[in-house]
Amino acid sequence: MMFLGYFLYQQGKSDEGMQALDRSLQISRGSSDEEPLVLAAILHAARGERDKIDSRIIRLKPEEIVDGDLAEWVGAMYAQLGDKEKALACLKQAVRRGNHNYPWFQRDKTWDPVRSEPEFGRIMSEVEGYWKHYTELFGQVSSQ
């Protein structure tokens, strides 16, 4: 349910995405799962609703995030909030933790606010290098 909400948002269907994420949050209430909270945080940030972002997500420090996807999502939230420094710190952490999904980073609109930053370009060059290496090792995978 949470990924449905996130992908609806990626398709420009913010209201539908938020409904799906709200349902995901209801289902996961009481669990320690941070994923629905952080994906909802991205949508709230994109909608200018900083006050609706769960404080547990705001308190996460980039260097303490051990999951590459979580670091990417927290960074995307910060990119949407306009905090370029924290967004890029989280993106670096995501890469350090093994998130090297170059094709996704190239089309994920949540990174648009920092896409023109030189540091973003440097990070993407690193990620592209990993991606090319994986392609050499394992062959080309369709990104469709």
Domains of the chain, by residue range, sit at 1-139
Sort 28 into a burial class: Cβ within 10 Å, 0-12 / 13-18 / 19+. middle
Topology of the domain covering 1-139: 1.25.40
Q: Residue 136: what pLDDT?
A: 93
Sign of the dihedral through C-alpha 28, 30, 32, 37: positive
pLDDT (tens place) for every residue of the chain, 144 residues total: 888 888 888 898 988 988 988 898 888 887 778 889 999 999 999 999 999 999 999 999 999 999 999 999 999 999 999 999 999 999 999 999 999 999 999 999 999 999 999 999 999 999 999 999 999 999 876 655
